[in-house]
């Protein structure tokens, strides 16, 4: 190992940026060289992306310049795309060069999991980044413009969301807020617009409290959503979807939110993965690689009951705290900490002024839950950027 250990953090999402922020606070001068690599020069607040995707918020509000969050005297920021991880050589290959490391933190986020369903990769859109949500927003609006030129094409006004998990439900909450405005703007009869939510599992929001799920479905049905629960998508085509029941829904817009897998580079690097995610040890390291920490959607952590925790921003942030501690401890030859996930609750937005959630052991719904959602979002902004960021990017 070189005299000053080199820490390379891949990805400035929830896991990566919080690790960098913690390290810049905890490391002493010349204790380590820390480099943060990210595709873009901004961090995006993934948990807000359903809003700009539907067009109910500006994508600008969901991103923050990375140099405003880190101290450049303590962290080197490299704007580049990682193309390969070579754990045996302790190197990462970037589009523009190579970085060597002593410690690696992988926080590259997830990729859509299509479960091998034909056509999803090719024809469905997914909510993953600022660029993807800009595209979805423009695409949705364009369908209204197209319909005005070809009024027999009702498929332009048909929107299918695949997956009724967190992301799917939050996106539907927003798109159903946006549609009435688009109908007004483009003089379209709202009764012509159809929004379907198709979910293969026996319930929407699997794992959520059934009473809250029912509440959420009622809210969204009242906003015009047709649910097709316990119904798998068999194929996505250029014309829409074919369901396992044989029914075909013609739609010019299919947004797939049905699953997340880890980054494909982890498989390519030879790590042992489950759906692209590495089952990390109690210290958040990749098994057999004591110098590689894996966070967020790239990692897999099991509950004491043996069930995998769903990938969330909340778990990524908590992992980042432990990862930063363990990196500092490794460098100083101190004891590592084990990671234990502590759920602070979950709130899913259903559009403007409506949400459902569990906070502590309390169920919340409606306006109160929507306020909780804003508080959670603002807490995160506070963690990464203090009061100035809350004031600049907070959605009050
Ligand atoms: C619409 C939506 C709503 C959500 N709502 C919630 C919620 O309310 N609560 C909750 O807890 N979770 C929510 N989630 C889940 C949560 O956003 C993710 O679990 C979380 O973002 C994972 O964090 P991460 O650090 O693993 O990666 P990410 O936050 O995804 O960040 C990955 C980073 O890596 C960068 N990157 C990727 N590939 C490369 C590469 N090759 N080279 C360089 N950089 C790269 C990306 O640009 C990005 O900056 C939501 C997700 C979505 C999509």
Q: Could you tell me the CATH number of the domain that includes residue 213?
A: 3.50.50.60
Distance between CA 148 and CA 38 in Å, rounded? 41
Conformation bin of residue 207: beta by default, left when phi > 0, alpha when psi is -120 to 50: left
Q: Total domain count for the chain?
A: 2
Q: Are residues 200 and 277 in the same domain?
A: no
Both tokens of residue 220?
Answer: 């969204």
Angle between helices 313-332 and 14-26 (to 10 degrees): 30
Contact 136, 127 (CB under 8 A): yes
H or E stretch including 120? Answer: helix 120-123
C-alpha–C-alpha distance, residues 363 and 166, integer Å:
16
Paired tokens of 371: 């306020």
Rounded to the nearest angstrom, the distance between the alpha carbon of 4 and the centre of ligand 1 is 30
Residue 138 lies in a domain: yes
Q: Are residues 265 and 250 in the same domain?
A: no
In a domain, 361, yes or no: no
Statement to judge: residues 294 and 385 lie in one domain: yes
How far apart, in whole angstroms, are the C-alpha atoms of residue 52 and residue 326? Answer: 36
Instruction: Record the tokens describing residue 137, joined without a space.
Output: 């927003």
**Residue 136 and residue 229 share a domain:** yes
Beta bridge partners, 196, equal 160, 226
Q: Are residues 209 and 282 in the same domain?
A: no
Q: State the residue for tokens 């995006």.
A: 44
Full strand arrangement of the beta sheet holding 158-162 = 225-229, 194-199, 158-162, 253-256
> What pLDDT, on a 0 to 100 scale, did the predictor assign at position 220?
98
**pLDDT tens for each residue of 111-139:** 999 999 999 999 999 999 999 999 999 99
Give a yes or no: residue 350 inside a domain: no
Q: What is the DSSP string of 39-67?
A: SSSEEE-GGGTHHHHHTSS-GGGGEEEGG
* Domain identity same for 179 and 224: yes
**Does residue 365 sit within a domain?**
no
Residue 2, pLDDT score: 52
Do 135 and 148 lie in a common domain? yes
41 plus 53 within the same structural domain: yes
Is the domain of 242 the same as that of 311?
A: no
Ligand 1 atom with least separation from CA of 110:
30
Q: Domain boundary at 192, 226, 257, which?
A: 257
Identify whether 154 is part of a domain: yes
| pTM score, whole prediction | 0.95
Residue owning tokens 């969204």: 220
Instruction: Work out the angle at residue 271's Cα, subtended by the Cα atoms of residues 266 and 274, and round it to the nearest 5 degrees.
Output: 80
CA 108 – ligand 1 centroid, Å: 8
CATH number, domain of 381, equals: 3.50.50.100
Ligand 1, atom 35, residue with closest C-alpha = 11
Is residue 141 flagged as an active site residue?
no
Q: Is the dihedral of CA 238, 242, 247, 249 positive or negative?
A: negative
Q: Are residues 168 and 223 in the same domain?
A: yes
Where the chain has pLDDT below 70, the residues are: 1-2
CA 243, CA 27: separation in Å to the nearest integer? 54
Query: Given the structure tokens 């919080």, which residue do they identify?
Result: 18
Residues 16 and 85 in one domain: yes
**What stretches of the chain show up as alpha helix (H) in DSSP?**
14-26, 50-54, 120-123, 130-149, 166-186, 210-222, 264-268, 313-332, 367-393
For residue 20, give its domain range.
Answer: 6-112+261-343+377-393
How many angstroms does the Cα of residue 314 sit away from the middle of ligand 1?
A: 11
pLDDT tens, residue by residue, 146-196: 999 999 999 999 999 999 999 999 999 999 999 999 999 999 999 999 999
CB atoms closer than 10 angstroms to residue 28 = 9
Establish if 15 belongs to a structural domain.
yes
Which residue, of 235, 257, 279, is where some domain finishes?
257
Catalytic residue among 113, 170, 199, 354: 170
Separation of alpha carbons 251 and 29, rounded Å: 57
Residue 66 and residue 149 in one domain: no
**DSSP assignments along 204-251, one per residue:** SSTTS-HHHHHHHHHHHHHTTEEEEET--EEEEETTEEEETTS-EEE-
Residue 359 is assigned to a structural domain of this protein: no
In a domain, residue 206? The reply is yes
With a Cβ cut-off of 6 Å, ligand 1 is lined by 11-16, 37-40, 46-47, 49-50, 81-82, 107-109, 127, 166-167, 170, 295-298, 311-314, 316
Q: What is the pLDDT at residue 344?
A: 87
Q: Of the candidates 257, 286, 321, which is a domain's last residue?
A: 257
């Amino acid at each position: 190992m070189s005299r000053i250990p080199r820490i390379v953090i891949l990805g400035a999402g929830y896991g990566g940026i919080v690790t960098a922020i913690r390290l810049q606070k905890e490391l002493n001068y010349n204790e380590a060289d820390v480099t943060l690599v990210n595709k873009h020069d901004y961090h995006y607040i993934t948990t807000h992306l359903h809003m700009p995707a539907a067009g109910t918020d500006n994508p600008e509000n969901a991103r923050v310049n990375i140099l405003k969050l880190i101290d450049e005297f303590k962290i080197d920021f490299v704007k580049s795309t990682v193309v390969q991880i070579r754990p045996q050589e302790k190197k990462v290959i970037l589009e523009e060069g190579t970085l060597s490391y002593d410690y690696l933190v992988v926080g590259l986020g997830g990729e859509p999991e299509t479960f091998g369903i034909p056509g999803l990769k090719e024809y469905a859109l997914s909510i993953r980044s600022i660029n993807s949500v800009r595209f979805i927003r423009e695409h949705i609006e364009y369908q209204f413009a197209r319909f005005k030129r070809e009024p027999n094409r009702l498929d332009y006004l048909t929107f299918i969301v695949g997956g009724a998990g967190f992301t799917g439900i939050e996106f539907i909450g927003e798109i159903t807020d946006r549609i009435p405005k688009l109908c007004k703007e483009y003089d379209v009869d709202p009764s012509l617009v159809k929004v379907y939510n198709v979910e293969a599992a026996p319930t929407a929001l699997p794992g959520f409290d059934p009473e809250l799920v029912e509440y959420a479905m009622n809210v969204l049905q009242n906003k015009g959503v047709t649910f097709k629960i316990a119904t798998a998508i068999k194929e996505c085509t250029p014309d829409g979807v074919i369901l396992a029941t044989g029914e075909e829904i013609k739609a010019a817009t299919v947004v797939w939110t049905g699953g997340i897998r880890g980054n494909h580079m982890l498989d390519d690097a030879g790590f042992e993965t489950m759906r692209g995610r590495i089952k990390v040890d109690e210290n958040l390291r990749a098994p057999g690689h004591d110098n590689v920490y894996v966070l967020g959607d790239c990692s897999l952590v099991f509950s004491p009951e043996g069930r995998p925790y769903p990938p969330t921003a909340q778990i990524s942030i908590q992992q980042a705290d432990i990862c930063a501690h363990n990196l500092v401890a490794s460098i100083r030859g101190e004891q590592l900490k084990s990671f234990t996930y502590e759920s602070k609750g979950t709130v899913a937005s259903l559009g403007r002024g409506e949400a459902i959630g569990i906070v502590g052991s309390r169920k919340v719904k409606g306006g109160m839950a929507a306020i909780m959602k804003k508080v959670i979002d603002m807490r995160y902004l506070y963690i990464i950027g203090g009061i100035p960021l809350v004031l600049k990017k907070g959605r009050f």
